[in-house]
Structure 1
Amino acid sequence: MDAIVWEWVNFMLRWLHVITAIAWIGSSFYFVHLDASLRRVDGLPKGTSGEAWQIHGGGFYHMVKYNVAPANLPEELTWFKWEAYATWISGFFLLVVLYYRGAELFLIDQTVMELEQWQAIAISAVTLVLGWVVYDRLCKSPVGRNDTSLIVTGFVLLVLAAWGFSVVFSGRGAMLQVGALIGTMMAANVAHTIIPNQKKVVADLLAGRTPDPALGKEAKQRSMHNNYLTLPVLFLMVSNHYPLAFGTGHVPAIVAIVLVVGATIRHFFNSRHAGKPTPWWTWGVAVVGVAGIVWLSARGPNDDAVTTAANAAQPVDFAQVEEVILSRCGMCHAEVPAWPGLPTAPKGVRLETPEDIRRHAPEIRLQAVLSTAMPPGNISMITPEERGLLGAWSAGKVN
C-alpha cells in the first residue's frame, strides 16, 4: 500500500510541477515578447518607453510600459511571482520524492562514485545553494556589468558544473541536477532580485521618493537570463525519460550544446518580436547542435564491448541472454517486483519469459546497450561484457 501511495504522490507532484511551470514560462515568454514589441509614438505619458496594441479573445488591449514607475500607482497591482515560487517548490518536492527517496536508483551509480544515500542528497542540496550564491555574486561583480562577459563566464561555469555532477552522480542524476541548479537560479532571481527590486520601487513611490533606475535595470538583466535559460532547463528536466540524452557518457557536452541551442532559439523569437532583422542563422546553429547531440548519443559507453561481441565467431546463445536479463533485470521487471517500493514493473515491461525478452529486444538495446540507463544506477552491477552480449543478440545474432 505504501508503494501505491508514494507512486500517486509522485504523480500528483509531477502534475502540479508541470501546471505551475506552464504558468511561469507562459508569463515569462509573454512579458519578454511584450517588452520587445513596444514602439515609441507621440503622445505617450511622460516616463514611458513605448506602447503595444494586442488582440486576444475577441478584445483589444493597449499596453504601455513605464521606464521606472508611473507618478501615481493604481489601487490594484498584479504581481507575477507565485508562478515561479510554486514551480520551484513543487519541483523541489518532486526531487525529494523521486531522486532523494530513490537515490540508489536515480542519483547514485556505484560504478561512477561509491556514495551513501545521505552523501548524494547532501551534495545535491548543497550544490543547489552554492550554485545560486556563485551566480548571484558573479552578476553583482564587475563581470556582471558586461553582458557578454557574464554570459560566457556563466556558460563555462554551468558546463563545469555538469562535468562535476557527471563524475559524482549517475548520468540521469547529473543531467537532472544541472536542470535543478538552473531552475533554482531562475526562481531565486525572482525571489531575491526581481520582486524585491519592484517592492523597493513601490515603496519609494509611496514615500514620495524617486525610484532608482538601477533597480529596474538589474531586475531586467535577471529576467532576460531566465528567458534565455528556459528552453535549456526544459530539455534537462525531461531528459530523464530519454536514455540517449543522459546514459551515453556525454552529459557535459550535451549540456553545453543544449545551452547554446536553447539560447539561439530564444534569440530568434526575441529578435522577431522586437521587429529586428530575422536571425535565420539561429536555426542553422540549432540544427547543427541537435545533430551533434545525436552524433554524441551514438558514441555510447558500450561500443567496444558491443563490437567485440558482435564480431565473435560464435552466434549468441539465447540462454546466455536470458540468464543476464533474469539476473540483472528480473528483480524489477516482473509481475511482482522484488525491489522494495515498486508496486508494478516499470512502464509495464516484464522480462520473465523468453517471449517477454524477445518482444522487448528494442527497448533492451536502447536502455542497456546503446545507453547505460538500465539498470538504473547500475544497481545490479551488470558488466560491460554482459552489455556486449545483449548488444550482439539484439542486433540479430540469436542462436
Structure 2
Amino acid sequence: MNPLNSIKGVWILGFVLAVILGVVVNLTATGSWFDFNHAEFWRWIHVIAGIVWIGLLYYFNFVQIPAVAQAGSEAAPINRFVAPTALLWFRWAAVATWVSGAIYLAIIQQFANVFTLGFAGGFDAAYGLPMGIGVWLGTIMLINVWALIWPNQKKVLGIVEASDEEKTKAKQIAKMASRTNVVLSIPMLMFMVAARGGVSVLAL
C-alpha cells in the first residue's frame, strides 16, 4: 500500500524518514551533532505543529478569504467542505504548538524564566526576554483562535444556528481576530528565532 495515498501515511513516512536520516548522519558525521534527546523531541514537535498552525493562518488570510469573497455565491462548496477541515487542523495545531512548546521549556527548566520575560532567571535578557515576548504573543494568538475565531466561524459556517445579522457580525469578528493573529505572528516568529541557543541575535 502506497503511504502517499493517505494523510496518516504521509505523516508516518515523514517521521520515519526524519529518524532514519538523523541516525545515518549521526553515525557518519565527524562529531555527533544530532543529539536527539527528550527536549529536542518536543522542540521538533513544536516546530512541526507551528508550521501547520501558521501555514493555515496564512492560507486563510492570503488565499481562502480573498478567494471566497471573489467567488461570491459559488463559494458554498469551500465553506461546506474545505473550511471545516482546515479549521479543525488550524485550531488543534494551535493547541499542539503551545503545549509542545510549554513542555519543551519545562524540560529545559526555562518555563518560569520565559513566562516572566527573563525576570525569574535574574532577568536573563539573552533568552528569557526574546523567547518570552514570542511566547506571550503566541499565547494571545491561541486565545484568539479558541475564544474569537472558532466560535464565530461556527456561526458563519452554519455549525451553530445564527441569524443573518449574527452571521455578518461573527464573520467580521473572526476576520479581524485572524488578521490580528497574522500581525502578531510576524514579531512572534522573529523573537522566537532570536532566542536560539540562549544568545539573542537581536543584540548582535
Identical residues among aligned pairs (%): 31
Q: 1:235 to 1:99 in 2, by over 3 A?
A: farther
Provide structure 2 residue ranges, at least 5 long, that are not aligned to the other structure.
Answer: 1-35
Structure 2 equivalent of residue 49 of structure 1: 69
Is 1:196 the counterpart of 2:151? The answer is yes
Asked if the contact 1:204–1:210 (Cα under 8 Å) also holds between the matched residues in 2, the reply is no
Deviation at 1:175, TM superposition (A): 1.1
Instruction: With the length of structure 2 as denominator, give the TM-score of the two structures.
Output: 0.64
Tell me the equivalent position of 2:101: 91
Distance 2:49 2:174 in 1: 22
Large movers: runs of 4+ above 4 Å:
63-66, 164-168
Separation in structure 2 between the aligned mates of residue 168 and residue 185 of structure 1, nearest angstrom: 25
Relative to structure 1, is the Cα distance of residues 100 and 198 closer, same or farther in structure 2, using a 3 angstrom cutoff?
same
- 1:1-399 counterparts in 2 under 5 A? 8-35=37-64, 37-38=66-67, 49-51=69-71, 65=75, 77-78=84-85, 79=87, 80-100=90-110, 107=113, 124=115, 169-171=123-125, 172-201=127-156, 202-204=159-161, 209-210=163-164, 212=166, 213-241=168-196, 243-245=199-201, 248=203, 297=204
More helix by share: 2
Change (3 A) 1:36 1:192: closer
| 1-structure distance, mates of 2:120, 2:179 | 28
**Equivalenced residues, count:** 159
Contact 1:166 1:174 in 2 (8 A): no
Report which structure shows greater RCO (CA 8 Å, sep ≥6): 2
Q: Work out which of the two has the higher radius of gyration on C-alpha atoms and give 1 or 2.
A: 1
1:92 offset after TM fit, Å?
1.5
Q: Which runs of 5+ in 1 are unaligned?
A: 1-6, 39-47, 53-62, 108-120, 128-161, 249-296, 298-399
Change (3 A) 1:220 1:8: same
Distance 1:51 1:168, change over 3 A: farther
* TM-score (norm. length: structure 1): 0.35
How far did 1:50 drift?
1.5
User: Which secondary structure state, in structure 2, belongs to the residue aligned with residue 203 of structure 1?
Assistant: coil
Change (3 A) 1:165 1:220: farther
Distance 1:235 1:187, change over 3 A: same
